[in-house]
Amino acid sequence: MKVILGIDNGTQSTKTMFYDAETKKVLAMASAKHDMIAEDDGSREQKAEWWINALLECLNQVDPDIRSAVQAVGVSGQQHGFVAIDDSGKPLYKVKLWCDTSTAGECDEMTQSYGGGEKLLSEVGNLIAPGYTASKILWLKKTYGDLYEKMRWVLLPHDYLNFWLTGEAVMEYGDASGTGLLNVRERVWQEDLIRSLDSGLLDKLPRLIGPDETAGRITAEAAAITGLPEGIPVSSGGGDNMMGALGTGTVSDGVITMSMGTSGTLYGYSDKPIIDPEGILAAFCSSSGGWLPLLCTMNCTVATELTRELFGLDVKEIDAAGARAPAGAEGVSILPFFNGERVPNLPNGKASIMGLNTTNYTKENLSRASLESAVYGMKIGLDRFRELGFDVREIRMIGGGAKSPIWRQMAADVLGVPVLIPEQAEAAALGAALQAYWMLEGGGAARLQNIINEHVSLDESESCVPDLELRAAYDEGYARYRSWLDALAPLYS
């Protein structure tokens, strides 16, 4: 056996996958939930210690013999979260998450201080968007200056787990690009931007490493607690989207991955930097040696979950209710900005239900509109990919939405391309395991492509092709969605 452990630290839970790279089989999987602290000001926070407790809960569910056979570890983590630790490795404050919009003012402050959005795109490659790590750092400095002064390292969630396992503070290009502080073209820290935030901050940012490098090795202390072998290597790891790209095979041109969970993401591989002058697509690096232009919406399954709870439905029942309504939901549109929004850039946005009248105000139409709203948000990104020259041949769909037959077909119909479903639903955990296996085998671009070809497979029985007869109805529905968005966005800007 060649057992590799993939760890996925998500917003809602931590998951572990023990993968045998020789037999291409998952030997064991486990998960443990996380809580979240949510405030009316847009704050969305967790405690780093919850992640450690969740990881240990996962590991303790697995046979000790499997744990002791692990040869390498890879970690995927939710992007953008800010973990500030002191010299002893202790977190100094709660972790402000990717979906935290309370630092929108700090985004504006940093943007203006640097010279504006055009300069950021031109010199850095990304805007300072709500949710990115950069504004969270400034927020801590302004709000808790005493804690900020004690900070030794700025870490992202996956970096913190790497640090806890190895004692090493490093950061990989893909996840680092989501801080807003990385020059994504050159893959180096943007020093003038960092100094505009704090002249001493550069020394608190970890050493940057490549995606096939080793972040460190399991310490004796971590081995004793986890049951993993002391001294085995931990790969660089990456953000959940970067690891999801590996786990779905999005490592070559023409393939797009769409993840539909609490957030919605749409990303594609590029062998060169893609800088979107409109800032709709983030110009991230990949964790496979290239770049990963990406759309992220903060509200994807949020509308369906809240609608489901409102009507007392389970997941299958809301799908069934939505299926009873026609495409376009008889004119009902939902702008699902319950948590504010990142794209479109409305950190103070609110959700709205539009187009109601006495005949279309039904449970079925509201259910369908909640499903359609998530896909319409993805269409904003897919249209932008095409405008920037991407030849999108297929979409590989993961996340909770991929489990829904109506959502899969709806995505194919609205977006106009085939939707394929990977056999392994936990793409980020698999991607983390495959990256660790890649590191263990010596790295290199050619070897990664071979690994992807051998270990990523698709479930043809669940794939969907566009229904051309429904295209007109969805085009009308999307046009209504955009018209409502254009009308209401000024209220929240």
Alpha-carbon dihedral of residues 306, 303, 97, 218, nearest 10 degrees?
Answer: 90
**Rg (the chain; Cα; Å):** 22
CA 98/CA 239 separation, integer angstroms: 11
CA 33/CA 468 separation, integer angstroms: 40
CA 365/CA 372 separation, integer angstroms: 10
CA 384/CA 381 separation, integer angstroms: 5
- Pairing status of strand 238-239 against strand 255-260: unpaired
Phi then psi dihedrals of residue 472, to 5 deg: -65, -40
Tokens of 150: 């004690």
CA 483/CA 370 separation, integer angstroms: 17
Pick from 365, 367, 264: nearest CA to 315: 367
* DSSP code at position 184: T
Q: How many helices (H) and strands (E) does the chain have?
A: 18, 24
Per the annotation, the verdict on 240 as an active-site residue is yes
- Pairing status of strand 264-268 against strand 291-297: antiparallel
Judged by DSSP in three states, 99 sits in coil
Tokens of 362: 């039904």
Residues 6+ apart with CB under 8 A from 384: 276, 278, 280, 281, 295
Q: What b/e sequence results for 24-54 when a residue is b if at least 16 CB atoms lie within 10 Å of its CB, and e otherwise?
A: eebbbbbbbebeeeeeeebbbbbebebbbeb
Q: What b/e sequence results for 182-214 when a residue is b if at least 16 CB atoms lie within 10 Å of its CB, and e otherwise?
A: bbbeebebbeebbeebeeebeebbbebbebbeb
Q: What b/e sequence results for 339-358 when a residue is b if at least 16 CB atoms lie within 10 Å of its CB, and e otherwise?
A: bbbbbbbbbebebbbbbbee
Tokens of 278: 């409109």
Pick from 120, 121, 100: nearest CA to 110: 120
Which of 240, 276, 319, 413 is an active site residue?
A: 240
Residues catalogued as catalytic: 240
